[in-house]
Homo-oligomer: A and B are copies of this chain.
Amino acid sequence: MPDYDLSTMEYLDNYRHRVDAELDRRIACHSASGRLQETMRYSVLGGGKRIRPALCIAAACAVGQDIDAALVPACAIELIHAYSLVHDDLPAMDNDELRRGRPTAHIAFDEASAILAGDALQALAFEWLADAPGVEMQARLTMIQTLARACGHNGMVGGQAIDLESVGKRLTLTQLETMHRHKTGALIEASVRIGALTAPGVHTGSLNALTEYAKALGLAFQVQDDLLDIEGDTEIIGKPQGSDLARAKPTYPALLGLAGAREHLSSLLGYALDSLEDFGPEADPLRAMADYVVARTY
């Protein structure tokens, strides 16, 4: 597994601060219901790692754009991620009471507020994308198509449905990957593609290479998540360690063993980095993100 140096964390910290500030500013606007707005702010501004926005910005950088063009699309993607966590945590779904070390939204507020906040965050993501400053009209439409597909019945939501159907079942590696490609992979892939779409006339070849990178990284992210569930520290990962095992959720270590899962992670990382071989130093933020994803401890 590669080392990651300070500069990786510098990229990430820089991106995260910009994203956090923009999210905070944008989500402060008036809502019809004060409680709804509080639940939305609580759900979005809860100190996430902002991996998807960082990937979006890093992809924009890889095609020669700067952070400004990708900032609003990156924030829109984070809204979708935040809404999915709020809904996934609900009693009828994963029934989680702890997220990022804090009570989940339906515990901190109530179930109805959590459902509604998730619903409103999804709508807000599309509102922000439709208005994204500095992005051409056709690119905004393509971003909306990309995000809608990635988070819908053939993407993230479809993956969560497969996940719920899979609890207690023994999946093959192929079935496990199908689930993850939908549940987390689709949004990670969309983050990278949407970042690249900020560049006017981005080449199909570049877009395809970045997509390959994102697909491998999305799976690597999930393998690392599964490993952290076994090896991680509850206080650091922000949720009870071993919670996947306790729920009999299918995982990579359960299928491949610990050593096998680590090897799989390393090979996915290699594939992700190889996909970037035609890019110069402008793709260094993406390379750093790949290193970060597999080296992260929470």
Contacts and interface: CB of A to CB of B under 8 A. Distances in A.
Interface string A249-291: 0000000000000000000000000000000000000000000
A140 B149 CA distance: 17
Given A36-B161, A164-B112, A149 B127 contact: yes
B119 A130 contact: no
Interface stretch (A3-11, A86-94, A202-210, A233-241): A86-94
B118 A154 contact: no
Q: How many copies does the complex hold?
A: 2
A35 B30 CA distance: 37
Contact of A120 (B35, B112, B157): B157
Contact of A160 (B83, B90, B116, B161): B116
Interface in A18-65: 30-33, 35-37, 40
Interface in A147-168: 147-149, 151-155, 157-162, 164-165
A148 B123 contact: yes
A130 B112 contact: no
Contacts of A158: 31-33, 36, 120
A35 B93 CA distance: 15
Given A137-B138, A141-B137, A153 B36 contact: yes
A115 B117 CA distance: 13
A13 interface: no
A111 interface: yes
A297 B111 CA distance: 34
A112 B126 contact: no
Minimum-distance CB pairs A-B, first 8: A32-B158, A123-B152, A33-B161, A92-B111, A127-B148, A120-B153, A36-B161, A120-B157
A129 B118 CA distance: 21
A141 to B, nearest CB: 5
